[in-house]
Amino acid sequence: MFDIRARRHHLILAYKSCKLLRSLHQNDANVKIFVILLEINIDS
C-alpha cells in the first residue's frame, strides 16, 4: 500500500512547478488544464 503523504507531497511539487510553467506560458491552455487537474487531486 502506498503512502498518501508521499503522493500528496509529489502532487504539491508538481503543482508548484506547474504554477511556474503557467507564469512562463500564460496562454498555454494545456498547462492550465493540468494545473486544474492537480488542484482537484490535491483537494480530494
For the chain, domain boundaries: 4-43
DSSP state of 21: H
Per-residue pLDDT, 14: 82
Contact predicate 39/18, CB 8 Å:
no
Q: Residue 39: pLDDT above 80?
A: yes
**Residue 41 corresponds to which amino acid?**
N
pLDDT in tens, 4-35: 677 788 888 888 887 877 676 665 677 777 77
